[in-house]
Structure 1
Amino acid sequence: MDLTNANLSQRADLHTHTTASDGMQRPADNVAMAKARGLAALAITDHDTVDGIAEALEAGERLGITVVPGVEISTVANGRDIHILGYYINWNSVAWQTKLKSLAGTRDQRNVMILERLRELGLPVTMEEVLEAARAQGKDSGSLGRPHIAAVLIAKGFVGSMQEAFDRYLGEGGSAYANPPRLHPFEALAWIKEAGGTSVIAHPGLYGSDELVEEIIARGAEGIEAHHPDHSPEDEARYLRMAERHGLIVTGGSDFHGERHGVVFHGELGSKTAPVGVLQQLNPSRR
């Protein structure tokens, strides 16, 4: 798909990551790319942090792009990683910042567990190497994630690609995968509501359990990300039907992280979008 020629003037990419978490580009760079591709709006939804929002909002004002303040909260239910997107949260409130900082400790614990398991497998990777890899990728704040560990595995020749790192070691089912106790999705829904935001279930097709997705909806999720690069056409159709059945807001986003070793994860910015009118549904102050 040639995104530069696509008609995106009335579309919003509602799922992008930056160097504030595990993305490769600064927040302002994501905004500039959205402008270049003709998007009307994009959301900054870094993992468990809102550190990139201020820079993105400033760039949005300067470039004439609507920036949606967001976050992607990492949770666990029934042993599965579940991600909950929050939009239009009161991102700079002290209470919200305190909650997010509590998640950083869990992410750090997970990283330590992964490195321990890698060492047991004969693949020594140190935290110093992970930090160095993160800095080399332009990261200067926020939380370290598995892509930064994967970058070291590639640099040391233990794997040949980001995909191999996740398939063999870091993803669910991988031999170094670790999943310490985390926030439950129901708790994330409550956090987002308390922060004045709107909750959306991220990429539900990745969880392998629509029953669990339905449970999260029943507990108050307000939207569902039907359009995602890792969803098949059948997935999209199924979640559109689910959204209609439950009266949910339908969103879409590229889950853009930037390019690592020649590969874009998950999709190119603007490759999956939603109509810009959905912003009014997501913003509680405009409903």
Structure 2
Amino acid sequence: MLEADLHTHTIASDGTGTPTHNVRLALDAGLSAVAITDHDTVGGVEEALEAGRELGITVVPGVEISTAVDGCDIHVLGYWIEWRDPLLLERLEQLRRVRDRRNELIVERLQSLGLRIDMEDVYESVRHVKRRGDTIGRPHIADALVRKGYVASMAEAFDRYLAAGKAAHINPPRIAPAEAVQWIREAGGAAVLAHPGLYGRDELIAELAQQGLAGVEAYHADHTPEQEKHYAELAASHGLLVTAGSDYHGERGGVVFHAPIGSRRVSTDVLEQLKLRQGGRNER
């Protein structure tokens, strides 16, 4: 069976590998297709598409859009988007500005806790790989904390400071999930709710199904087997597609985040079904 991993990140956001590297890993994992779904940017798509042509791997142009409900982060994946669409690019730039301000606020909070860190420390480790339109996120702040000796690992950085509810967690206002679904559809894509088991807000699935949601990422590296079964059944009950993704972010200190490419996979038949649920510019 031909299979795909529909959730991977590159250096365009908070992954550690180039888009070409992700495509090569997909090939090594025996996949026929891989999606590039960086946070609030499509900066890695063009390189990945070229690598896919060279290696014979289907690359799905994608994005993972940051949204929130009542202060809870909710992520919406977009597939088969018109990734060069000017309106989409403008909207993603707006989201990156929010993310940039959040990063500044996190660093300010860390400083108030007595940690000698600033944004230059964060930029230091990414300056040689980041390009215009790329994003900087909490993993890069965690990297800076490790380099400066405040924590021993990225996991400790999140456990002590950066995860929801921890001392330096900041969550600025963001767009609603339904708005992200609409943005994706207006860019010609199909929208999928990412890793719903991390939120515990199952009511969102029914609500977003009425707004044009195409599917649910039931199979995810951070879901338990029980959650995967639950969300696959919940998606089916609302007539939604079921997708799978590793949420691969690369390796840091020899540890893979969240899981290796190909650890969660779905039949490539789903790719064609997602195409049937694409939106279009006539929705604007």
Deviations 1:205-236 (A, max 9, x none): 00022233433334332100000000000000
Distance 1:81 1:213 in 2: 15
Give the aligned partner of residue 147 of structure 1. Answer: 139
Identify the match of residue 191 of structure 1 among 176, 183, 196.
183
Deviations 1:155-189 (A, max 9, x none): 11111111111111111011100011111111101
Identify the match of residue 254 of structure 1 among 242, 246, 252.
246
Q: Give the alignment's TM-score, normalised by structure 1.
A: 0.93
Distance 2:98 2:199 in 1: 21
Equivalent position amino acid for 2:200 in 1:
G
Distance 1:213 1:243 in 2: 8
Distance 2:60 2:231 in 1: 23
Does the 8 Å CA contact 1:196/1:284 hold for their aligned counterparts?
no
Name the SS for the 1:143 alignment partner: coil
1:107 aligns with 2:135: no
Name the SS for the 1:47 alignment partner: coil
1:93 aligns with 2:89: no
Equivalent position amino acid for 2:114 in 1:
G
Does the 8 Å CA contact 2:23/2:52 hold for their aligned counterparts?
yes
Equivalent position amino acid for 1:139 in 2:
K
Equivalent position amino acid for 2:208 in 1:
I
Equivalent position amino acid for 1:155 in 2:
R
Give the aligned partner of residue 44 of structure 1. Answer: 36
Distance 2:159 2:213 in 1: 30
Distance 1:147 1:213 in 2: 28
Q: Give the alignment's TM-score, normalised by structure 2.
A: 0.94
- RMSD between aligned alpha carbons? 1.5
Deviation at 1:79, TM superposition (A): 1.1
Deviations 1:231-260 (A, max 9, x none): 000000100110110011110010000001
Distance 2:269 2:166 in 1: 40
Deviation at 1:104, TM superposition (A): 1.1
Does the 8 Å CA contact 2:71/2:173 hold for their aligned counterparts?
no
Output aligned runs, 1:98-177, within 5 Å. Answer: 98-135=90-127, 138-141=129-132, 142-177=134-169
Distance 1:286 1:49 in 2: 19
Distance 1:286 1:210 in 2: 23
Deviations 1:79-116 (A, max 9, x none): 10000000011110111111111111100110011001
Does the 8 Å CA contact 2:206/2:238 hold for their aligned counterparts?
no
Does the 8 Å CA contact 1:18/1:24 hold for their aligned counterparts?
yes
CA 1:174/1:286 → structure 2, altered by over 3 Å: closer, same or farther?
closer
Deviation at 1:139, TM superposition (A): 3.4
1:219 aligns with 2:211: yes
Distance 2:278 2:173 in 1: 36
Equivalent position amino acid for 2:130 in 1:
K
How many residues are paired up?
278
Give the aligned partner of residue 3 of structure 1. Answer: none
Give the aligned partner of residue 6 of structure 1. Answer: none
Distance 1:220 1:63 in 2: 34
Name the SS for the 1:82 alignment partner: strand
Give the aligned partner of residue 10 of structure 1. Answer: 2
Output aligned runs, 1:58-97, within 5 Å. Answer: 58-97=50-89
Deviation at 1:286, TM superposition (A): 8.8
Name the % identity: 56
Distance 2:18 2:61 in 1: 15
Name the SS for the 1:85 alignment partner: strand
